[in-house]
Amino acid sequence: MKHLQYTDIDYSKLFDEFRHPNNGAVVLFSGEVRDNNEGREVTHLEYEAYEPMANKMIAGILEEAKSRFKLNQAACVHRLGKVEISGCAVVVITGAGHRKEAYDANRYIIDHVKNDVPIWKHEFFADGTSEWGQNCDCVTDANETGHKHHHHEEAQ
């Protein structure tokens, strides 16, 4: 699928191919795997998605960002499967006439991908345990991007 892959993300290649004559600014964000989380040593991550829906939603977020921020180009690829420490888990590239739009759109895209798209992180720790991730840093980001916070919506 265009926005999801089980193999390494070659962001240098993506960046090289990201050319548009109207671009005055290109911003690349790479979300990478840290060796620690909340004081615990992390050995690696594994990502899972509801793939057809996640792929479609990322495409929708990119289209929305392109129109909202007047981007010339936008790209996003998220990893699935095992990602080692320092590996790229997600890349977002935005190209616009000026840097403000490129930065703002890039932030908008990564926030919405993290908060809305059905992708899940399984963290593996050095002590042999593992946990499914709980992202939720969108409490602050939400206000900046207009993201509607759904995580604590009651089931009834």
Partner 1 sequence: MDKRTIKIVCFAGLRKYFGAETTVAVAPEATYSDVVTKLATANPEAKEVLKSCRIAVKEEFVPLNEKLKSVDTLFLIPPSSGG
List interacting residues with partner 1 (CB under 8 A): 31, 47-50, 52-54, 56, 78, 89-90, 110, 113-122, 132-136, 150-156
Q: Which of 76, 86, 90, 75 lies closest to 34 in space, CA to CA?
A: 86
As measured in angstroms, the least distance from the Cβ of 21 to partner 1 is: 31
Query: Judged by CB, which is closer to partner 1: 31, or 97?
Result: 31
Closest CA to 112 of 36, 56, 61, 50: 61
Of the pair 24, 52, the CB lying nearest partner 1 is at 52
Residue 81's region, left for phi above 0, alpha for psi from -120 to 50, else beta, is left
Beta carbon of residue 30, minimum distance to partner 1 (angstroms, whole number) = 11
Q: Provide the minimum distance between the beta carbon of 61 and partner 1 in the complex, in angstroms, as a whole number.
A: 12
Smallest gap from Cβ 57 to partner 1, in A, equals: 8
- If the CB atoms of residues 22 and 135 are measured against partner 1, the closer one turns out to be 135
Decide whether 96 or 113 has the Cβ nearer to partner 1. 113
Question: Among residues 88, 40, 95, which one has the least CA distance to residue 66?
Answer: 95
Collect all residues with Cβ–Cβ distance below 8 Å to 146 and sequence separation of at least 6.
none
Are the C-beta atoms of 43 and 126 separated by less than 8 Å? yes
